[in-house]
Structures are given as structure tokens and as C-alpha cells.
């Protein structure tokens, strides 16, 4: 089988991979939903879905730091990485062990392509198509729901000390646009540091979204931001629905509806 991953790397596989190491939490969840639980042998400490994996699979480190010897010992047929989650050095080290597939996700179409590729790679085409169909159905339903809703100027915070937000060229920004949240920091790339004392001058958001991952924001942080914004409404959001792709998207759109109802 020949397959080109989302970074343009070509994989040539003689047989369906039977031992998988996943270094990306949302992709680990996707593997489970594709029916590949028994094939997954290694995951990261951030792979929290499904919950029981942390006690049944080997933890090989995080997404930015891995134990390469642990991975070697698992004798994987393939290692699954992501351009944003894993460093170039990690990918190169993994390529010394076995085949590596790297995803690169900015849009929902990128997600659907990844699901389709996993369907091919792991001989789960029917399961993959079912997930794709569910996402497309729920997406269309959500687009009908959101089309008449007002656009709201928004800032999406992911970190504090330093304060960091989601900017342009990210999956989060793509989903913000889908939700008709106009990202005031979309003129900045990726995940920039920002000065919250300038938040009014730099966009004056109506809504501030505080993600519960990777930083555990609390009420005092909302209060701190509120002092600098112009009466922006601050809402704590489930970051998994804004940053996890794969099968997580099936559930995301009903969450987005509930979020909009709270505004």
C-alpha cells in the first residue's frame, strides 16, 4: 500500500500495521472509535480518551517529550504524529524506528482526510466512512443553526503567564469562524503572546473564551481579564471541542449549540 501523509511524506506498507503507537491525544481517541483498540500499544500521558487506555496501554511520554527506548521496546509497525503536537525532532527519531504518519490539521476537511487515510491504513474503511458521514451530517445541521446568529467579537485564551491566545492558521481559529466568533487576534499567527492591558485597543471583544486545556483557568483569571476588557462576557469552555479533531467532531456541534445558547 502506498499512502502520502498530510506533510507529503510517502509511506509504502507491505501489510496492514498491527502495532500502533499514537503520540496525539485526539488521534488516539479516533483509533478507538475506528475499532482499533487492540492494535494500539503505546500512547502519551495526555491521551485521556478513552479513559481506560491509561491503565491498559504503555505510556511513552508526552507529546513534546518521548521515551524513545520505550517506543522501540513496543516494536511498533507505525507511529502516528501531528505537525503541531509533536516536534520535528520527535518525528525524525520515530522514523528511525518504523513508518511514521504525520497529520496537519487546520480545517474540517483536513480532519475528514485524516479519518479517510486511517481507514485505508488500518483496513477500517467502513468504520471511517461512518464517522465521516456523522461529522458531515452534524456539520450541515450546525451550519443551518448558526447562519442567522449574530457574529460576536471574541478572544480565545489558552495560557496565562504569559497570556496566550489562539490566532490565525490554527484549527481553533477555524472552529471559531464556524461558530461566528470573530477572533480579534486573527491578524496574529498560531498561538501568540498578548498584552491583556491592550485588549480594548486590539479588538475590544464582546466574548472572552477561557479554554480548560492546556491551562486550567479559574474565576480569578476571568476577573483579571474583565478588568481590562470593556464589559466582555467571559465563558469557560471545553477546549477539547475546539482543538481535538477526528471522531471528537461528532459531538462538537451539539456542544457549540449549547455554548451559543449561553450567550
Assigned superfamily of 149-261 = Nitrogenase molybdenum iron protein domain (3.40.50.1980)
The superfamily (CATH) of domain 2-138 is: Nitrogenase molybdenum iron protein domain (3.40.50.1980)
Which letter does DSSP use for residue 177 in this model? H
C-alpha cell at 177: 469562524
Going from N- to C-terminal start, the domains of the chain cover: 2-138, 149-261
How far are the Cα atoms of 118, 145, 176, 238 from residue 50, in angstroms, in the given order? 18, 30, 26, 17
93 near 68, Cβ under 8 Å?
yes
CB 114 within 8 A of CB 91: no
In this prediction the pTM is 0.95
pLDDT of residue 231: 83
C-alpha to C-alpha distance for 108 and 145, rounded to whole angstroms: 18
> What's the whole-number mean pLDDT along residues 9-34?
97
Alpha-carbon span 121 to 239, nearest angstrom? 28
pLDDT at 2 over 90: yes
User: Would 2-138 and 149-261 be classified into the same CATH topology?
Assistant: yes
- Site of grid cell 451559543: 260
Host H or E run for residue 61: none
Check residue 119 and give its pLDDT.
98
Question: What's the pLDDT at 67?
Answer: 97
Q: What is the pLDDT of residue 230?
A: 84
Q: What's the pLDDT at 75?
A: 98
In the chain, how long is the greatest CA-to-CA distance? 60
Amino acid at each position: 500500500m502506498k499512502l502520502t501523509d498530510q506533510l507529503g511524506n510517502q509511506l509504502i506498507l507491505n501489510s496492514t500495521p498491527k502495532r500502533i503507537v499514537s503520540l496525539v491525544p485526539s488521534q488516539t481517541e479516533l483509533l478507538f472509535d475506528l475499532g482499533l483498540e487492540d492494535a494500539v500499544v503505546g500512547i502519551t500521558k495526555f491521551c485521556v480518551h478513552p479513559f481506560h487506555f491509561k491503565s491498559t496501554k504503555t505510556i511513552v511520554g508526552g507529546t513534546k517529550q518521548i521515551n524513545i527506548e520505550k517506543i522501540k521496546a513496543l516494536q511498533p509497525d507505525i507511529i502516528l504524529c501531528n505537525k503541531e503536537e509533536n516536534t520535528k525532532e520527535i518525528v525524525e527519531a520515530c522514523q528511525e524506528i518504523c513508518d511514521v504518519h504525520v497529520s496537519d490539521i487546520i480545517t474540517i476537511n483536513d480532519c475528514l482526510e485524516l479519518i479517510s487515510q486511517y481507514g485505508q491504513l488500518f483496513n477500517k474503511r467502513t468504520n471511517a466512512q461512518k464517522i465521516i458521514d456523522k461529522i458531515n451530517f452534524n456539520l450541515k445541521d450546525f451550519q443551518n443553526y448558526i447562519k442567522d446568529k449574530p457574529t460576536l467579537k471574541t478572544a480565545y485564551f489558552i495560557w496565562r503567564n504569559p497570556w496566550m491566545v489562539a490566532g490565525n492558521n490554527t484549527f481553533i481559529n477555524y472552529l471559531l469562524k464556524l461558530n461566528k466568533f470573530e477572533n480579534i487576534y486573527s491578524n496574529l499567527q498560531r498561538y501568540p503572546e498578548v498584552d491583556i492591558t491592550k485588549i480594548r485597543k486590539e479588538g475590544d471583544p464582546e466574548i472572552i473564551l477561557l479554554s480548560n486545556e492546556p491551562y486550567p483557568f479559574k474565576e480569578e483569571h476571568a476577573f483579571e481579564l474583565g478588568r481590562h476588557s470593556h464589559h466582555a462576557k467571559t465563558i469557560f469552555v471545553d477546549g477539547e471541542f475546539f482543538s481535538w479533531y477526528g471522531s471528537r467532531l461528532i459531538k462538537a456541534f451539539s456542544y457549540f449549540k449549547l455554548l451559543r445558547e449561553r450567550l
